[in-house]
Amino acid sequence: MTILLAPMEGLLDPSLRDVLTRVGGVDRCVSEFIRITDQLLPERVFTRLMPELLTGSRTAAGVPVRAQLLGSDPACLADNAARLAELGAEGIDLNFGCPARTVNRHRGGAVLLDEPELVGRIVAAVRRAVPARLPVSAKMRLGHRDDSLRLEAARAIADGGAAELVVHARTKLQGYRPPAHWDRIAAIREAVAMPVIANGEIWTVADARRARAESGCQGLMLGRGLVADPGLGWALRAADGQAAVEVGWPQLLPLLALYWARIAGRTAPRHRAGRLKQWLNLLRRRHPQAQAAFDALRPLDDPARVSEWFGAVAEEPRSAACRGGSQPSEPELPTAACRQA
């Protein structure tokens, strides 16, 4: 079973990709979209938006990251894809799924699904522009206003030379409202001769089982579900018969501190606390301890005070150990060997 970490603009940034892939259970990530309009972006823009380009297109844990481009100009997208190839990109992913109004108003993302012929020309232009060894993939929704053109769009992506397609099982108008219509992916999978991966509203192992059964897809892309439960990838693998890996709050707390350190280097001070609270807000769906942490940090916006909170939390186990006369062991995270299991 292939498990991909979704591109989620404003949430799954390089810092969170770094931390979540350290947990393991994920085969590949896709970057937040890189907006292409009418120019060839300079190298510094690509490396700022996807710093993994500086480390072989891999996170610190060694998980590949594929660069995602968004736009509507086939020639310009092709030129920027070629530059990404020169920078060592692991692959190129094309965004035909973003539901954001601003993006759609400027002819990007899911609105392009109303123009399957253009979608096909974009994929073909990018495929021609990059070396044959470099995979080109795409992500789409079921459609823009409805799903009547989903098969035409998927066939255009396949005919353009894409090697893989992720389908978010909702239209643009359906946004992120439950349910996801995984059964509507089945016809797409049957219509194209390339791997199709199901995405949308997968929060639990039970959701994943239903998504696979209804779509017929073996591979899954996880977004908010994995952010809320970083151990979900391992739980899915355990359900498929692989060894179980413990990912509870003791394992996550050091990763929260690491995330805080990572965003301090990439985010303006006034936005740092908000990014941390955004992750905690999702974590509390799965971990009761995250609710207490969220409540404690909710009134704090000063980065110094947030850092003080992390310092106090780190001191608590040490104080308890001193009272008990022994030192606590460090929480164990999945090892590299586990990640490859």
User: Where in the sequence numbering do the catalytic residues fall?
Assistant: 98
Helix (H) / strand (E) containing 101: helix 101-105
Neighbours of 38 (CB within 10 A): 8
Task: List alpha helices for 138-268, DSSP H.
Answer: 150-159, 185-191, 205-215, 224-228, 232-239, 249-264
At which residue do the structure tokens 């100009």 appear? 73
Q: What is the spatial distance between Cα 96 and Cα 203, in angstroms, rounded to a whole number?
A: 23
Say what angle helices 249-264 and 288-297 make with each other, to 10 degrees: 30
Q: What is the spatial distance between Cα 294 and Cα 284, in angstroms, rounded to a whole number?
A: 8
Contacts for 210 with CB less than 8 Å, ≥ 6 apart:
182
Q: What is the spatial distance between Cα 228 and Cα 233, in angstroms, rounded to a whole number?
A: 11
Query: Is residue 197 within 8 Å of 221, Cβ to Cβ?
Result: yes
Give the phi and the psi of residue 263 in degrees, each rounded to 5: -70, -25
Helix (H) / strand (E) containing 281: helix 269-283
Closest Cα partner for 174 from 152, 196, 202, 200?
200
Q: How far is CA 149 from the centre of its chain?
A: 26
